[in-house]
Amino acid sequence: MFTAYKKFWTNYVNFTGRTNRADYWWTVLCNALIVLPFMSAITSIYYLNYYEYIGKVYNGDIGDIESLVVDTTPNLFTVDIIILSILVLLFYLAILVPNLAISVRRLRDAGFHWSLIFVPIGAILFSFLLLVPFLRAIVFVLVGFAEIFYTILLCQPTKPYQAPVQPAQPMQAPNPYQGQAPQQPAAQPTAPVQSQTPTNQQAAPVQPQTPTNQQ
């Protein structure tokens, strides 16, 4: 439980990854246990002040019965209730972002899209229509259905991650030479080179020229 709650705070703004079902609900339980004493104290003090006020009215110490009917909340929100309420409000503000982050991770872990986080957010915004008297019944039903639907999603087990399917590639014929070093062509035998010896050429005999006698 404490390990799961530690992960809740260490992943304060982590909207990626996954959170399994056990870690999520352990975190919800820890937050509820932290808020429970404050809410119990606020409720107890409020009703003590309320019954004390009714007793004073019936005893005639303050006001009368008609004032109780007209105004039933005088002096009920005392300083201690206000202080405890502020502490609870600050705690809820502190866990707002990590609650959104862990919810997104839990939805992804269960195999759902993260945009389903807007189901409870929309239900909270839609609940303001409770101020309209003739819409209260419809709002109660729709908000209740949304909360139940969202809780069921968060209770789903972990769904294994499936990588997106890649389009099939056209098959190619196997290359038998793949992975082998290219072979060099065999050297062709060359004919022996015959050396050419110069041939002895016999020059024609040169006949000497005899001088002619000039008379």
Say what the pTM is. Answer: 0.64
Contact (CB, 8 A) for 111 and 162: no
Per-residue pLDDT of the chain (215 residues; tens, 9 = 90+): 888 888 899 988 889 889 899 999 999 999 999 999 999 999 998 888 877 777 776 666 555 555 555 455 556 778 888 899 999 999 999 999 999 999 999 999 998 888 899 988 888 888 888 788 888 888 888 888 989 999 999 999 888 866 556 666 666 656 665 555 555 655 565 555 555 555 554 545 555 555 554 44
Q: Give the tokens for residue 71.
A: 């105004």
Q: What is the DSSP string of 1-54?
A: -HHHHHHHHHTTT--SS---HHHHHHHHHHHHHHHHHHHHHHHHHHHHHHHHHH
Do the beta carbons of residue 146 and residue 120 sit within 8 Å? yes
